[in-house]
Chain A
């Protein structure tokens, strides 16, 4: 056993990490990947079905996008409320988290959870724990990209 100093020096840490790594189960990488593929694929196929529904009712591919997003967010919220969405993500990983339904899950889950802390500092503030950064950096990135395109005259 190496002598402990605190914090332990880098060499000891590296040696220990090597020792510990031998005892860790290796991640079931392939299993995670195909499950993410299947769940993500199925959610997007469902989304495509919603788009087709709106297109069959007079929407164009462009105008069908916003109502489709709303329907998918509604479904993600409902599944979260029923307690099913976390099981879906446990199985499908990012296949459940990356679609917009997972974005809905990231808002609805804390909104349900932090009721006890009150409607303002609980529900109102905590619902953006994950979604807040997504919206903030999405807006910032879109601003930067949009500004660059505008200056380059690409947007005109």
Chain B
């Protein structure tokens, strides 16, 4: 149960932080999404994001920093097996399920739905 609480608190906290950046700087939401993915990758590299994922589960993996973290983790795994080439293959393999799903759903939605006001 406590994982659910932490998921709520950490996930909500990350989103609140992003909202502060949007409200207080000239950055647009698209900029902030990029910023947070990059920050997630950096935090993953520094080893501070993994404990957060362990603690908060989806609270850390579902917000976009988790996406950046996933890609860094993928590289870490890949270079152990493939060496240098892992730097190129690792991040996309790790993120492949998400990217492929979103592209397929996007194409499907373009056939199934119409924008409304």
Contact = CB atoms under 8 A, between A and B. Distances in A.
Direct contact of A and B (CB under 8 A): yes
A44 B19 contact: no
B51 interface: no
A100 B63 contact: yes
B29 A94 contact: yes
Q: Is the interface of A mostly helix, strand, loop or mixed?
A: helix
Interface in A87-146: 92-95, 97-104, 106-109, 111-113, 115, 119, 123, 127, 130-131, 133-135, 137-139, 141-146
In this complex, the interface size class of chain A, counting residues with CB under 8 Å from chain B, is 35 or more
Given A97-B29, A112-B114, A103 B102 contact: yes
Contacts of A38: 12
Contact of B101 (A50, A74, A133): A74
Interface string A20-51: 00000001010011101111111111111111
B11 to A, nearest CB: 3
Contacts of A155: 75-76, 79-80
Given A47-B7, A93-B19, A138 B110 contact: no
Q: Give the one of A51, A77, A138, A145 with max B CB within 10 A.
A: A138
Contacts of A33: 16, 19-20, 23
Contacts of A98: 14-15, 18, 32-33, 36, 63-64
Given A33-B16, A143-B87, A69 B98 contact: yes
A43 B11 contact: yes
A125 B59 CA distance: 31
Given A41-B15, A48-B4, A94-B32, A66 B72 contact: no
Interface in B3-26: 3-4, 7-16, 18-20, 22-23
Given A48-B3, A99-B62, A107-B106, A70 B15 contact: no
B99 interface: yes
Nearest to B19: A36
A106 B107 CA distance: 13
Interface string A51-94: 11000000001000111111011100100111100000000111
A54 to B, nearest CB: 11
A52 B7 CA distance: 12
A16 interface: no
Interface string B73-105: 011100110001011101110010111011101
B109 A47 contact: no
B101 A70 contact: yes
A51 to B, nearest CB: 5
A112 to B, nearest CB: 5
